[in-house]
Amino acid sequence: MRVARRPSRSLGPHGLSPTLSVTELATLLRATLEREVGQVLVAGEVSNLRRAPSGHAYFTLKDDRCQVRCVMFRSALQSLVFTPADGQEVIVRGQVSVYPARGEMQLYVETMDPQGRGALQLAFEQLKARLAAEGLFAEERKRPLPFFPHRIGIATAVGGAALRDILVVLHERHPGAHVVVSSARVQGEGAADDLVRAIADLNAYPGVEVLIVGRGGGSLEDLWPFNEERVARAILASRIPVISAVGHEVDVTIADLVADRRAPTPTAAAEIVVPRVVDLAATVARATAALVASVERQTTRERRRVDDLGRRLRDPRRTLLERRVRIEGLTVRATQALGGLLDAARTAVDSARHRLHVQDPRTRTAGLAAHLDAVERRLQLAAGHVVQQARGRVARAASALDDLSPLAVLQRGYSLTRTLPDRTVVRDAAAVAAGDEVEIRFAAGRARARIESSGGDDPTSA
């Protein structure tokens, strides 16, 4: 892309191109970089990785001298099998361009691979560390396998060598076993989803007691579905104990670590699930022989013990006679002892009856009643005297109160005058003026009046 010259702008000094705006300069740089550099492979260390709410990732790719800003859009980020993190040495492929809004060069990353370790190996290690931190691999979480299951579920590819090996061993060891197979792809795109579905289907199938999930050997890429997190969590959620049988003995997958039991091969899984019937029969025969011999030895010992006890056992009739004689003697002694106790009790009762008669409460109660009558009479006399004295004091106080009462003064013809409306007592004629309203109280009743004139002590001015 080239920026056209504008005729309205004059050439700058020294005959240079016309003056560019910042936007035009940024656009020119972006076009030049995309045309001249284009797609590049760059190796460096990831730094300052930040994930935006949009799902895009922004980071810096650096070496010991320089750094460049990078962006990896969500669609490209979702295709990675491992999780990028600060400090990882990676090789990225992308388009060099300029972000016009800031005028900065940045690399638009389309793919990313770790240096040294492969992407799948790094993803395996990252997922293994995360699930281990959650406790998914803990031994105390894993369940025991049923001893001799009659219904066995298998999640694997139908027609594969792993399924044939498992069926051959199961038929040899337990011909009557009921095997339920849920077909699932075990490698390639969609295999992880197939395995999750197959595990769920077998959990829903009635009566399945144990579940084998596996396949034959292969490369890390071939075995990768068994390293998917969703497969690990499906095994964890299974209500049925799970045996993982993936690859050869040297192959270890996430499914192996999460499962209740790991089998090094599919054939070994079948051998773990059920013991051989002939081996069980031989074990039962050996156990039966050992049990019979043990019972015979124990019977012989007990028979000898019974014989020995029989020789030492006394005649029971003699023992009964001795017990009867002893009981009769004890009965006589008990009767005598009881008679003595009864005599002592009678003596004690007679003595108590005599003391009770002497201290008969009825006699004591009569004396106390006479004393209470005398006290009551004295109390009544004293109370009458006190009341009479109190009445005299009250009468004297009432007479004195009548003498001091202003009502007695009013009875002699005087009156009490108060101003209105504040009802202040008038003691001086100067306290009122002509026109003031007053209230006059007599010995009987009240009257309201208006002052016509006020002349102080002048008797003619009323």
Question: How is the chain split into domains, by residue range?
Answer: 13-116, 123-275, 293-336, 361-404, 411-450
Q: Among 3.30.450.20, 3.40.50.10860, 2.40.50.140, 2.60.40.740, name the CATH number for the domain at 13-116.
A: 2.40.50.140
Give the number of other Cβ atoms within 10 Å of residue 68's Cβ: 15
Using alpha carbons, select from 55, 53, 51, 46 the residue that is nearest to residue 107. 46
- How does 334-364 read in b/e, with b if 16+ C-beta sit within 10 Å? eeeeeeeeeeeeeeeeeeeeeeeeeeeeeee
DSSP state of 9: S
Q: Residue 125: what pLDDT?
A: 78
- Distance (Å, whole) CA 428 – CA 438: 13
Ranges assigned E (strand) in 122-230 = 151-156, 178-183, 210-215
Q: Residue 314: what pLDDT?
A: 67
For tokens 């029989």, what's the residue? 310
Residue 439: alpha-carbon gap to chain centroid = 85
Q: Residue 456: what pLDDT?
A: 55
Q: Residue 116: what pLDDT?
A: 58
Q: Is the pTM of this model over 0.75?
A: no
Q: Residue 132: what pLDDT?
A: 86
Q: At what angle do helices 161-173 and 266-273 cross, to 10 degrees?
A: 30
- Distance (Å, whole) CA 442 – CA 417: 9
- The answer to whether the 13-116 and 123-275 domains have the same CATH topology is no
Give the number of other Cβ atoms within 10 Å of residue 284's Cβ: 10
Residue 453: alpha-carbon gap to chain centroid = 96
Q: Among 3.90.180.10, 3.30.70.1430, 3.40.1190.20, 3.40.50.10550, name the CATH number for the domain at 123-275.
A: 3.40.50.10550
Q: Residue 119: what pLDDT?
A: 65
- Low-confidence residues in the chain, pLDDT < 50: 1-12, 14, 460-462
- Say whether 306 sits in a helix, a strand or coil: helix
Q: Residue 11: what pLDDT?
A: 46
- Distance (Å, whole) CA 434 – CA 12: 113
- Distance (Å, whole) CA 221 – CA 239: 29
